[in-house]
């Protein structure tokens, strides 16, 4: 049988069945998702910058020749 215990969030004394109370469960989940989104964005930005560099390098000799 599940037991009620205090929320694991520092300073929060709300009793809950899960690790965090409903409020902090949502907060922790939102923080994790935003961190994941930022990591994905950074990876995507790096890929885009690399692709742009490659395209510029490939295009440069032709531009110089003509
Ligand atoms: Zn809490």
Neighbours of ion ligand 1 (CB under 5 A): 7, 9, 12, 14, 21, 24
Q: 33 vs 5, 6, 9, 26, 36, CA distance in Å?
A: 25, 24, 17, 10, 5
CA 2–ligand 1 middle distance (angstroms): 18
The confidence score (pLDDT) of residue 3 equals 84
**pLDDT at residue 14 is higher than 90:** yes
* Separation between Cα atoms, residue 16 and residue 14, nearest integer Å: 6
Centre of ligand 1 from the C-alpha of residue 9, in Å: 5
Tell whether the model's pLDDT for residue 63 goes beyond 90: no
Structure pTM? 0.59
For 30-60, how does the pLDDT look when each residue is reduced to its tens digit (9 = 90+)? 999 999 999 999 998 999 999 999 988 888 7
Assess contact for 24 and 13: CB atoms under 8 A.
no
Gap between the terminal Cα atoms of the chain: 78
Q: What is the pLDDT of residue 5?
A: 93
Instruction: Note the helical H segments in the chain.
Output: 22-65
**Ligand 1 centroid to residue 44 C-alpha, Å:** 34
- Look at residue 17 in the predicted model and tell me its pLDDT: 93
């Amino acid at each position: 049988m599940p037991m009620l215990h205090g929320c694991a969030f520092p300073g929060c004394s709300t009793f809950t069945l899960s690790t965090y109370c409903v409020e902090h469960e949502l907060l922790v989940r939102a923080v994790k998702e935003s961190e994941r989104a930022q990591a994905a964005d950074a990876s995507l930005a790096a890929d885009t910058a690399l692709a742009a560099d490659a395209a510029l390098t490939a295009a440069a000799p032709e531009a110089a020749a003509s």
